[in-house]
Amino acid sequence: MAAVRIVLVRPENSANVGAAARVVTNMGLAGLDLVSPGDWRTVETWRMAWRAEDTLEQARVFPSLEEALTGAVYTAGLTGRPGHRVRPITVRAMAKEIAALAASSPVSILFGPESKGLTERDLLLCQRRVRIPSHPAQPSLNLAQAVMVAAYEIFVTGCNPDASLSQRAEQGEMERALGSLREAMLEIGFLPADNPEARFVEWRDLFGRAGLSSREVKLILALARRIRGARKGPQRK
């Protein structure tokens, strides 16, 4: 099974932190990460983390989301946002992709603050946008409930180390390649200069779905360099 870590981004309720720690233990996930959590070490946190105290004690705390995602080969953000250019996949589809990863592959599953959820900037760091299907009369889930649904789907889907997605590149590699490609596209006028990210988000989704390997990421970097080089004029042989 992949090494799945639950990432709570700017959680506002300490009880949900404790409940998420319990879910991590219930479903045998790798651990809990907290991004800018504020004051989370409360009595209520430990009360909600019944028999998951070790998970709380070992929780990793990060000042930024970029740092929390370092080393991950698969990143997914749970969101209730409909998505205009990028349609979210279901949590069950996400679980199937994670099951296809090699054993111990680092995976980060993100959940936003209770009042607002993940921002668009947060979601741009995710390879996949994920939505938990729910009734339109009350589409919003409690944070701990959402963590439980996602963790349960990951747990029951299982793992297949021999699947084609097993050699995904790390998050940092992907971001460097995407950043270089984005700059190359800007230079040749393929992306609009006033709001390039609005168009480039579709490319992010494309590469996120592709599950690129380290070698494929290097090919993208080489392509971006060649595009920028061609823009400056013919290269010497």
Burial of 80 (0-12, 13-18, 19+ CB in 10 A): middle
Task: Give 86-100 pLDDT, tens digit per residue.
Answer: 889 999 999 999 998
How does residue 166 score in pLDDT terms, banded at 50, 70 and 90?
Answer: low
Tokens of 204: 């992010």
In a domain, 162, yes or no: no
- Is residue 64 domain-shared with residue 142, that is, in the same domain? yes
pLDDT of 160 strictly over 50: no
CB neighbour list of residue 180: distance below 8 Å, 6 or more residues apart? 220, 221, 224, 225
Q: What is the pLDDT of residues 49-87, one digit of tens each?
A: 999 999 999 999 999 999 999 999 999 999 987 766 788
In tens, the pLDDT along 184-214 reads 999 999 999 888 888 898 898 888 888 788 8
pLDDT beyond 90 at 150? yes
Residue that is last in its domain, among 125, 157, 189: 157
Give the count of beta carbons closer than 10 Å to the beta carbon of residue 224. Answer: 21
CATH number at residue 186: 1.10.8
**What is the number of domains present in the chain?**
2
Distances (CA, A) of 85 to 5, 96, 118, 202: 27, 23, 17, 6
Q: What gap in Å lies between CA 103 and CA 159, rounded to an integer?
A: 7
Q: In this structure, is residue 164 part of a structural domain?
A: no
* CA–CA gap between residue 19 and residue 23 (Å, rounded): 6
40 pLDDT exceeds 50?
yes
